[in-house]
Amino acid sequence: MIDIVIPTMKDINEIESLVNEAWRTAGCKVQVMATCQKVSAACNRNRSLDISSSDPLIMIDDDLENFQEGWAAALVQVLEEHPKCVMVSPQLADPSGGPGYMMGGCQVKRTGVTAARLKELPTACIAIRRNDIRFDEHFIGSGFEDNDYCRQLCQLYPDAEFLVCHDVWIVHRNEKKKQHGEYWDHNKAYFEKKWGEKR
């Protein structure tokens, strides 16, 4: 069974429809859990790691919708077929159905699997292999904690592949909760102190 975990500040009743849709369309045996903690994205993501036990596991944001049938099974299959892949994402779409924001130098395609050229992916919807890396809780609000996690993966696994499964398109509303103003300034400065400028 694959764990699907939702790191979120929202109450469980606010994401009930998301939980049901993710479970119903997964295409494989899954259990869906949510953190529902009023803390930073990094803290909620670490809580997601703590309450899940499957390997691999899937992590999804609370602002996703329009899941394709079999989406989770397709992501897990990519990991199974690509031993060096440490993270796989679907092609994110915007609410109009067009290509959504994807970092990492990703291509936009309708089918197939491609590599993120810069070896990083947004963590809005990912399947990952279980490892000992944690999200850095010095990042406040949200933003840059996903870039940092990808950098840590590259440090631990120099040959790591970050792949996009274009056969799966999922709408990401990209609400960017607690990502602007003081949060952005603090997180950007902390990231650059730790890693240098973002690619």
Considering the chain, what is the average pLDDT of its residues? Answer: 94
**pLDDT score recorded for residue 196:** 85
CA angle, corner 6, sides to 4 and 10, nearest 5? 155
Domain of residue 160 covers 2-195
pLDDT tens digits along 30-62: 999 999 999 999 999 999 999 999 999 999 999
Q: Give the torsion sign (CA, 149, 179, 33, 161).
A: negative
- Domain count for the chain, please give it: 1
CB count within 10 Å of CB 129 equals 16
Residue 197, pLDDT score: 74
- pLDDT tens profile 142-187: 999 999 999 999 999 999 999 999 999 999 998 777 777 889 999 9
* pLDDT for the residue numbered 155: 95
CATH number where 180 lies: 3.90.550.10
148-160 exposure pattern, b = at least 16 Cβ within 10 A, e = fewer = bbbbbbbeebeeb
The tens digit of pLDDT for each residue in 96-128 reads: 989 999 988 898 999 999 999 999 999 999 999
User: What pLDDT band is residue 199 in, cutting at 50, 70 and 90?
Assistant: low
Q: Are 28 and 75 in contact (CB under 8 A)?
A: no
